């Protein structure tokens, strides 16, 4: 078969998945990345983009299903932009994710001598999320709450219940949707840049039964707040608070927006490894509570603590990892840029009666050296849990200057972990062990814990 033309349709067989979850087909030496296709599938694909050696497209027709294709349980699958791997057998999902971790470290990080465990598969593949971000859409029935349509930034697919959330969260969603229709206010039009209602963020704990809601709108006061509060209290008694966040920008990002309390309180309680955690609306916490526990257990195991060590937890957030480490360490110091998160972490330490942990405000790329100069003890072990972008080169240098004997790296992105791994190894560390964890079934995302040891001769 010759190299396809843009806009043409070709019949191909998918032989693997690329990072991100797209199917990979080969036409002689030409590679075609195909959305909506899984390994073993024979599909008809429309070519949408062309480069010299590869192209992109999407499957328009499934001609023959691959051996690992299953029936997706969600009626919104394929239309909703989430859960792109739901039609792939879960065991195959987990195997592929583990391979993505290994491939990233070998191809990008040039690491080959490390040990790698089997992936810790998710205990539940549905109903596992403790946080969901919905968007409002305008429909003939009035404002409707849903998710972005697959591949579209400007279209929202109405969702009558998401299989990734529990019944209590879905009930709260339904009440807010009813409130939105009752008020008659306009939904934000993403193309025109007009309207009011934008997003609903639901945070929920199935362990405490508590929910915290945030309504994100264009500027202006929320209407009929009294009705909303009364209905939520009657029909969703687990709701402990509602916040109102405002954005006048055109983007869809909801993080870091200024917010005010509408009623109730601005945090809900989660239980994790025996800890009580107060979680703010904008605070970072892994969105799969059960697998978060497994992730933290693995991080503690890889820290190899005897009880006397000084541990620095970088990007400590509301203190969840630091507090989990405290029982096995002599002293734990959490470093976090956001002052609000540090205040919450200190509150969580007091709530749990943990006295050998302290939290300080600081940018990891700038604050570590001054903290040592101000008298904090150097760490024996450093634990890092950075954002998806990983550690910046400057942050890597600051960690290396601390010279811990061991670094435990909790990563949500194997490609950025790989780049950081190469820098750490060049500085005298050895990547010893990697342990993947599947936090997010039916998506391409994968977490892992990597342990680096300082080479004695370095």
Active-site residue set: 412
Helix 90-107 and helix 414-426, axial crossing angle in degrees, nearest 10: 30
Please, which residues bridge with residue 242 across strands?
213, 263
Residue the block writes with tokens 């062309």 = 50
> Order of strands across the sheet with 211-217?
156-158, 142-148, 131-139, 197-204, 211-217, 239-246, 259-264
Closest by Cα among 90, 16, 130, 114 to 417: 114
The beta-strand segments (E) located in 65-155 are: 115-116, 131-139, 142-148
Residue 243 contacts residue 281 (beta carbons within 8 Å):
yes
| Three-state DSSP class for residue 278 | strand
The first and second tokens of residue 102, run together, are 């290994």
Residues 6+ positions from 97 with CB-CB distance below 8 Å? 119, 436, 438, 444, 446
Residue 420 contacts residue 448 (beta carbons within 8 Å):
no
| Three-state DSSP class for residue 263 | strand
Backbone torsions φ then ψ of 199, nearest 5 degrees: -140, 160
- The b/e string for 264-292 (b: 16+ C-beta within 10 A; e otherwise) is bebbbbbebbebebbbbbbbbbbbbbbbb
136 vs 156, 196, 204, CA distance in Å? 7, 10, 20
The beta-strand segments (E) located in 219-288 are: 239-246, 259-264, 267-272, 275-280
Residue 103 contacts residue 110 (beta carbons within 8 Å):
no
Residue the block writes with tokens 């500027």 = 219
Please, which residues bridge with residue 31 across strands?
26, 54
Residue the block writes with tokens 């299953």 = 70
Residue 76 contacts residue 63 (beta carbons within 8 Å):
no
Instruction: Tell me how far apart the alpha carbons of residues 115 and 113 are, in angstroms, rounded to a whole number.
Output: 7
Please, which residues bridge with residue 349 across strands?
none
- Radius of gyration over every alpha carbon of the chain, rounded to an integer in angstroms: 24
């Amino acid at each position: 078969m010759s190299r396809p033309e843009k806009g043409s349709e070709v019949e191909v067989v998918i032989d693997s998945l690329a990072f991100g979850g797209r199917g990979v087909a080969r036409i002689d030496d030409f590679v075609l990345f195909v959305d909506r296709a899984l390994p073993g599938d024979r599909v008809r694909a429309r070519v949408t983009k062309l480069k010299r050696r590869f192209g992109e497209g999407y499957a328009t027709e499934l001609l023959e299903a691959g051996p690992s294709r299953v029936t997706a349980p969600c009626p919104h699958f394929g239309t909703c932009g989430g859960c792109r791997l739901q039609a792939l057998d879960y065991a195959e999902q987990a195997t592929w994710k583990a391979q993505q971790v290994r491939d990233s470290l070998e191809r990008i990080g040039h690491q080959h001598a490390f040990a790698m465990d089997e992936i810790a598969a998710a205990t539940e593949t549905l109903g596992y999320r403790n946080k969901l971000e919905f968007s409002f859409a305008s429909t003939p029935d009035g404002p409707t709450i849903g998710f972005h349509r697959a591949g579209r930034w400007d279209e929202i697919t109405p969702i009558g219940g998401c299989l990734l959330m529990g019944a209590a969260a879905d009930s709260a969603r339904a009440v807010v949707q009813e409130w939105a229709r009752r008020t008659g206010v306009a939904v934000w039009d993403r193309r025109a840049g007009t309207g009011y209602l934008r997003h609903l963020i639901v945070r929920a704990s199935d362990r405490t039964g508590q929910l915290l809601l945030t309504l994100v709108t264009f500027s202006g006061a929320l209407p009929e707040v009294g009705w909303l509060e009364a209905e939520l209290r009657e029909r969703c008694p687990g709701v402990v608070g509602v916040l109102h966040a405002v954005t006048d920008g055109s983007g869809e990002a909801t993080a870091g927006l200024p917010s005010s309390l509408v009623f109730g309180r601005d945090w809900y309680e989660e239980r994790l490894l025996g800890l009580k955690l107060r979680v703010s609306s904008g605070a970072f916490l892994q969105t799969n509570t059960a697998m978060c526990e497994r992730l933290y257990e693995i991080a503690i195991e890889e820290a190899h603590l005897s009880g006397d060590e000084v541990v620095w937890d970088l990007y400590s957030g509301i203190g969840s990892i630091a507090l989990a480490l405290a029982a096995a360490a002599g002293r734990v110091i959490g470093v976090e840029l956001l002052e609000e998160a540090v205040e919450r972490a200190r509150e969580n330490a007091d709530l749990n009666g943990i006295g050998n942990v302290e939290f300080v405000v600081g940018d990891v790329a700038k604050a570590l050296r001054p903290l040592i100069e101000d008298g904090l003890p150097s760490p024996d072990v450093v634990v890092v849990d950075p954002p998806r972008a990983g550690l910046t080169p400057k942050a890597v240098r600051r960690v290396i200057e601390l010279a811990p004997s061991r670094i435990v790296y909790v990563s949500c992105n194997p490609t950025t972990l790989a780049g950081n791994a190469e820098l750490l190894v060049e500085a005298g560390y050895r990547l010893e062990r990697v342990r993947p964890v599947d936090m997010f079934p039916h998506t391409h995302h994968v977490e892992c814990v990597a342990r680096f040891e300082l080479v004695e001769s370095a």
